């Protein structure tokens, strides 16, 4: 019997399994499990015996009949002759044309509440129920209560998870649409700003040039936010496609150097590459690898003051892993912020206090892109104003030729 209670968490299956085991063990003509609703009413959840289809799903009032009294009081009843008991209701017998002679009815309850009742009707050997039957069924009901509560909680957890998945899908869809809507006008704004900067429509005064730089910088900031939102939405909704191809990480490091070195120079930051000359090729999505590195380097430059240093290094971590790290001498990260900064919109308190611009999506995107390709990312920092090092690792699988989608 105990094995039956622990064999499944499927609520409807468990209900029927419990009653079939009870009916066979107790050798009765009919039996039913009634569940208590929030209103106090009882519903025939499982019915075994003749004309069971007439009772399945039927509801009875909170205190109607023997079952109602047992559910409301939490006390069991053994009735050798139901006709002599004032609480007996013949409504069910009239509906099914079944004759109830003796009944055993016990509550299915936890310490906090009554979940329902089990009632057994007429022993097959025609003898009345006794105290021994009551003790046995009460013990079974206690095990059943625990199993049913676990199954109910499991169902609630599944429903909650489904609701969360749906909510997350709607959120990601909204972010994707919002990002697309924002990017379209921004492209036009940036295009006109570049025309004005190139003085193709005439010369600009110094004040106009400054205003134009502010417009261009703000538009670039919003465009990056829109791109990060779109990237995050694609990853969350499994719409991101990864293409596996073999390439040298050093090539991508050089590309990132060409893109980011001017930004470092403008802030008087020393930007250094340190890649092992004999670094073996890796196999992953080169575009996403580049995106991860750009996000980390961009953050390093942003959070490092003038005269600081940013170093990008790549090396073999162990025989089967390559590690790429981005180190800086910037504002550092407090111990309590090291997990939060990888959450969507999570930012370190020292960055917020110093009013360094950003919304906290770059690291989130980088972390998810690394993990989706089988890697890990971590951060090390000795504390505020002590710099930080972000390191991500990727596996080195056996070489394969060609380029093909690996996940979507």
192-207 pLDDT per residue, tens: 787 787 777 788 888 8
Q: Are residues 305 and 377 in the same domain?
A: yes
Question: Model confidence at 377, in pLDDT bands (50, 70, 90)?
Answer: very high
Same domain, 259 and 320: yes
What pLDDT score does 172 carry?
Answer: 63
Most confident range, picked from 151-165, 276-290, 301-315: 301-315
Domain count, the chain: 3
Q: Give the pLDDT score at 56.
A: 84
Are both 113 and 192 inside the same structural domain? no
Q: What is the CATH number of the domain that holds 379?
A: 3.30.565.10
Q: Of 390, 222, 214, nearest to 298 (Cα)?
A: 390
Token reading at 340:
């939060």
Instruction: Report percent pLDDT > 90 for the chain.
Output: 25
pLDDT of residue 61: 86
Structural domain for 403, as ranges: 242-407
CA nearest neighbour of 30 among 96, 114, 110, 107? 96
Q: What is the CATH number of the domain that holds 110?
A: 3.30.450.40
Contacts of residue 369, Cβ cutoff 8 Å, sequence gap at least 6: 235, 288, 291, 292
The terminus-to-terminus CA distance of the chain in angstroms comes to 45
Residue 274 near residue 324 (C-beta atoms within 8 A): no
149, 66: one domain: yes
In this structure, are 71 and 193 located in the same domain?
no
pLDDT single digits (tens) 123-155: 889 888 888 888 888 888 887 787 777 777 777
φ, ψ dihedrals at 239, nearest 5°: -100, 0
Give the SS3 label for residue 284.
Answer: strand
Neighbours of 16 (CB within 10 A): 15
**Torsion angle, alpha carbons of 295, 296, 299, 300, to 10:** -150
Pick the closest to residue 239 from 162, 321, 177, 289 (CA basis): 177
Given 97, 128, 159, the domain boundary residue is 159
The answer to whether the CB of 326 falls within 8 A of the CB of 293 is yes
Is 66 in a helix, a strand, or coil?
Answer: helix
**Which pLDDT band, with edges at 50, 70 and 90, does 2 fall under?**
very low
Residue indicated by tokens 């499990």: 33
* Rounded CA separation 371/359 (Å): 21
Do residues 51 and 196 share a domain?
Answer: no
CA distances from 377 to 24, 256, 367 (A): 57, 19, 6
Q: Are 155 and 174 found together in one domain?
A: no
Q: Which residue has the higher pLDDT, 219 or 135?
A: 135
What is the chain's mean pLDDT, rounded? 82
pTM for the whole thing?
0.51
* Cα–Cα distance for residue pair 44/394, rounded to 1 Å: 57
> Could you tell me if 168 and 288 lie in one domain?
no
Q: pLDDT at position 249, please?
A: 92
Considering the domain architecture, whether residues 19 and 143 belong to the same structural domain is answered as yes
Same domain, 98 and 173: no
Closest C-alpha among 15, 193, 21, 175 to residue 108? 15
Percent of the chain with pLDDT over 70: 85
Whether residue 310 has pLDDT greater than 50: yes
Domain boundary among 199, 218, 236: 236
CB within 8 A of 400, min separation 6: which ones?
Answer: 244, 246, 283
Following DSSP, what letter does each residue of 100-166 receive, concatenated? ---EEEEEEE-SS-EEEEEEEEEETTSPPP-HHHHHHHHHHHHHHHHHHHHHHHHHHHHHHHHHHHH
C-alpha–C-alpha distance, residues 223 and 179, integer Å: 9
**Whole-number Å distance between alpha carbons of 392 and 376:** 6
Residue 403 has pLDDT above 80, yes or no: no
Q: Which residues contact 346 (CB under 8 A, 6 or more apart)?
A: 337, 340, 360, 363, 364
7 Cβ neighbours under 8 A, 6+ residues apart: 17
pLDDT band at residue 5, thresholds of 50, 70 and 90?
A: very low
| Residue linked to tokens 């205190």 | 63
Residue 220: count of CB within 10 angstroms of its CB: 14
Hey, what are 234's tokens? 């694609």
The 8-class DSSP code of residue 330 comes to S
At which residue do the structure tokens 């790290």 appear?
A: 325
Q: Are 21 and 116 within one domain?
A: yes
Strand-pairing partners, residue 47, are 32
Quick one: pLDDT band at residue 8, thresholds 50, 70, 90? very low
Q: Are residues 323 and 400 in the same domain?
A: yes
Q: Strand 242-247 and strand 282-284: pairing?
A: antiparallel
- pLDDT bin (cut points 50, 70, 90) of residue 64 is confident
Domain boundary among 180, 209, 236: 236
Q: How far apart are CA 83 and CA 90, in angstroms?
A: 9
- What is the model's pLDDT at position 179? 63
- Average confidence (pLDDT) over 92-107: 86
């Amino acid at each position: 019997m105990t094995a039956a209670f622990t064999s499944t968490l499927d609520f409807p299956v468990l209900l029927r399994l419990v009653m079939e085991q009870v009916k066979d063990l107790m050798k009765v003509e009919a039996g039913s499990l009634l569940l208590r609703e929030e209103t106090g009413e009882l519903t025939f959840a499982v019915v075994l015996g003749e004309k069971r289809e007439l009772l399945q799903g039927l509801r009875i009032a909170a205190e109607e009949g023997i079952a109602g009294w047992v559910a409301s009081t939490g006390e069991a009843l053994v009735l050798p002759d139901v006709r002599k008991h004032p609480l007996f209701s013949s409504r069910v017998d009239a509906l099914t044309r079944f004759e109830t002679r003796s009944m055993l009815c016990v509550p299915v309850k936890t310490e906090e509440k009554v979940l329902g009742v089990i009632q057994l009707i007429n022993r097959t050997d025609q003898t009345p129920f006794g105290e021994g039957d009551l003790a046995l069924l009460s013990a079974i009901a206690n095990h059943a209560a625990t199993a049913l509560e676990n199954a109910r909680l499991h169902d609630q957890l599944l429903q909650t998870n489904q609701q969360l998945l749906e909510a997350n899908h709607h959120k990601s869809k909204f972010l994707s649409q919002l990002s697309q809507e924002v990017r379209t006008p921004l492209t036009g704004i940036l295009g006109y700003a570049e025309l004005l900067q190139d003085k193709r429509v005439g010369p600009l005064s110094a004040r106009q040039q400054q205003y134009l730089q502010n417009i261009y910088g703000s538009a670039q900031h919003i465009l990056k936010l829109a791109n990060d939102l779109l990237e995050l939405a694609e990853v969350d909704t499994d719409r991101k496609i990864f293409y596996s191809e073999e390439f040298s990480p050093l090539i991508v490091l050089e590309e990132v150097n060409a893109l980011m070195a001017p930004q470092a120079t403008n802030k008087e930051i020393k930007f250094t590459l340190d890649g092992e000359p004999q670094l073996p090729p890796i196999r992953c999505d080169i575009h996403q690898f580049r995106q991860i590195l750009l996000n980390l380097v961009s953050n390093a430059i942003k959070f490092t003051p003038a005269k600081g240093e940013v170093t990008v290094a790549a090396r073999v971590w162990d025989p089967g892993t390559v590690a790429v790290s981005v180190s800086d001498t910037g504002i550092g990260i407090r111990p309590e912020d090291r997990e939060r900064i990888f959450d969507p919109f999570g930012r370190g308190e020292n960055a917020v206090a110093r009013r360094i611009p950003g919304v906290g999506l770059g690291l989130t995107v980088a972390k998810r892109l690394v993990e989706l390709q089988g890697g890990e990312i971590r951060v090390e920092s000795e504390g505020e104003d002590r710099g930080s090092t972000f390191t991500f690792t990727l596996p080195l699988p056996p070489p394969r030729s060609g380029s093909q989608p690996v996940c979507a």
